[in-house]
Structure 1
Amino acid sequence: MSLLPRSGLFCASQQSCESGLDDESLTRFNMNSSASSGGSLQEADSTIVTQKEGDVKSYSIMTPAEKLSVCERRMQSLAEREEYDGCIKELVRCLALSRLVYGNEHFTVVEAQSRLAKAYLQYKGWPHQAEEHASQALEVMGSSQQGERVSYLKCCLSAHQTLGSATLFLGNLSKAESSFQEARAIMGDIVAQEAILDTDRLDTEYQISTNLAR
């Protein structure tokens, strides 16, 4: 999927995605919003069943790690249903909770920030926010506790592609070119490890080459 902004989303209100993300909203879900989310999400909003049968927890008394798991499931479900405002709110929560659970320099935080950067650009067409979060992800990545090698490379690839697309959109051609060149080099490492499907490889290489030609 292309990292360029969706054309139908340029007029979306930035306030609609960033509202409701105060400290209180990071510790509980808006229960009213679950009415349109389906039964499974309604259950996730209010309760979570742990491995111990019958042990049911309210979201408000979950540990941060448990809340992070719920937010990640909600984020994925909202993205699949193309409910992008809600998806971005959950990505913001995931980033905040990841920092709380793992600390600022953990690879999980880098992944969360990279996903948020990509979503800002791809779902909302907000290059400034995408550039900020992609840059921060790459900065932390240099000092983070690296995860599994392939996961690390794919996260780094995504962040560079997002940063390249955002800076290209903003007219910073030299920075965009540098980011796409980095993405091309990382893609070579991923291919060398046979860690990507041919269709995904061709699509990603086409995106990088097309953007470098601009």
Structure 2
Amino acid sequence: MGILSSCFSHTHRSQQSKIPAHKQTDELCFTCESRESEEESRTEEEETIDCMALPKHKLDQSQKKIAQLIKEKMNTEANKELIRCVILSRIVFGQEHWKCAQALANLAYGYLTLRGFPAQAKKHAESAKNKLLALKGNMASEEEEKEILGVLVLLYYTLGMAWLLQKRGKEAYFYLQKADRTMKELTELNKGYIYGMQITEKDLAVGLGRASLAIHRLNLALSYFEKAIDDVIAAKGDNSPDLISLYQELAQMEQLRRNHGQAIQYLKQAYSICVSSFTEISPQTGEVSALLAKAYAMSGESQHRDAVEIYFVKSINAYKATLGPENYETLTTIEEFCKWLVQNGDKQGAYRLLKSSLKSYVINYGVYNEKVAETLYNLSRICFPKGEIRKAIQMLRKVSKGR
């Protein structure tokens, strides 16, 4: 072994001695450059990872912050965080990545639900939709395909509801149907199970019901609202507060169909859930009570006169106790009740109610306001037939001063 080793060492030295000095220097420089290049490459990769870690961390923080702000009903601030998420997503994933389109979709939905700005919602939804449709079908995995379908459901729903807010029923129905079909496609991919979606089948059914109403397809609207009610009952039971608004919408639809008896039944169901969920003295119960009073009044049946009065009084008492006597809802309900009292011959009752609320009208609207002038005018109209001319003239003078 020693001889072999000695021979190898001698041969290696003799070969080295045969290589010119400048060649040896070149090889050494090349080796050093290669090592430096590798080190530089590693350093650049590490720096890139470090640079990306900060935006990614900020994006995660921002997404968590949005949920908290929405919970605290800080809608404007939540919307600002959604804008921040779009910017950070562009940095982290790149302009053309589907997650960037997802951030835009969330922003569009935020403008719709948090701010009630349909034009901005449509603008961002269209931008995200174009990105996603270009990517759909070219995903690396089935999971990404599912995620994109989920985002498309959100986008089509946002577009549909934004058009509905702008009173464009035909366009709203078109996009909500697309959302419904995309949801079905996603359900099939998930073998019948949907989870983690911002938009539910109940949301789609309600949206389609409202869009159907907007295009005067009442029977179709009825079927969608009934489906939404079935979905809620199946998931949360027949006493869920989520049913209140659905029964209200069904009642409105039945009133359009002149089925006043059925409308009253739906509102009675809503009232029962309100009382059990929020108590009799609550803004929610006040709202349903007022709707029930008007539904009984719309029926035009004399046997419902007592019911009209009972539910108007319940509504006013609930609003006064929870929102205050100067609140817009309180004053509007008083005004509607007074109009009904005058129409049904109880001018004295209407006068007392309006007179007792006049101070609240002034506090709420100011002395020189059209609403206050209208109240004074209505009071004068009640005084004239009773022969209270002086009172009526005083009221009218106040009206003229207000104007």
Shift of 1:129: 0.5
Equivalent in the alignment of 2:103: 112
Q: Distance in 1 between matches of 2:83 and 2:200?
A: 29
Shift of 1:209: 2.5
Question: In structure 2, the residue corresponding to 1:110 is in which secondary structure?
Answer: helix
User: Would you tell me which structure has more helix in proportion to its own residues?
Assistant: 2
Equivalent in the alignment of 2:205: 206
Give matches, 1:1-214, under 5 Å.
63-144=54-135, 146=139, 148-192=144-188, 193=190, 194-196=192-194, 201-213=200-212, 214=214
Shift of 1:104: 1.2
Mark the CA change 1:91 to 1:201 in structure 2 (over 3 Å): closer, same or farther.
closer
Work out whether residues 105 and 143 of structure 1, in 8 Å CA contact, stay in contact via their aligned partners in 2.
no
Q: Distance in 1 between matches of 2:204 and 2:166?
A: 22
Q: Distance in 2 between matches of 1:202 and 1:102?
A: 30
Q: Distance in 2 between matches of 1:158 and 1:172?
A: 19
Work out whether residues 109 and 155 of structure 2, in 8 Å CA contact, stay in contact via their aligned partners in 1.
yes
Work out whether residues 156 and 176 of structure 2, in 8 Å CA contact, stay in contact via their aligned partners in 1.
yes
Q: Distance in 2 between matches of 1:98 and 1:201?
A: 25
Deviations 1:18-47 (A, max 9, x none): xxxxxxxxxxxxxxxxxxxxxxxxxxxxxx
Moved >6 Å (runs of 4+): none
Equivalent in the alignment of 1:46: none
Equivalent pairs, count: 152
Name the TM-score, length of structure 2 as normaliser. 0.35
Q: Distance in 1 between matches of 2:166 and 2:200?
A: 26
Deviations 1:123-175 (A, max 9, x none): 11100110101111101112237462322211100100001111222234443
What is the percentage of aligned positions where both structures have the same residue?
26
Worse-matched range after superposition: 94-103 or 187-196: 187-196
Q: CA RMSD in A?
A: 2.2
Q: Distance in 2 between matches of 1:211 and 1:76?
A: 28
Mark the CA change 1:153 to 1:162 in structure 2 (over 3 Å): closer, same or farther.
same
Equivalent in the alignment of 2:35: none
Please list every run of 5 or more consecutive structure 2 residues that lacks an aligned counterpart in the other structure: 1-51, 215-403
Q: Give the counterpart letter for 1:204 in structure 2.
A: D
Question: In structure 2, the residue corresponding to 1:142 is in which secondary structure?
Answer: helix
Q: Which has the higher contact order (CA 8 A, sep 6+)?
A: 1
Work out whether residues 108 and 120 of structure 2, in 8 Å CA contact, stay in contact via their aligned partners in 1.
yes
| Structure whose alpha-carbon radius of gyration is higher | 2
Q: Distance in 1 between matches of 2:206 and 2:128?
A: 21
Mark the CA change 1:201 to 1:132 in structure 2 (over 3 Å): closer, same or farther.
closer
Mark the CA change 1:123 to 1:64 in structure 2 (over 3 Å): closer, same or farther.
same
Shift of 1:201: 4.9
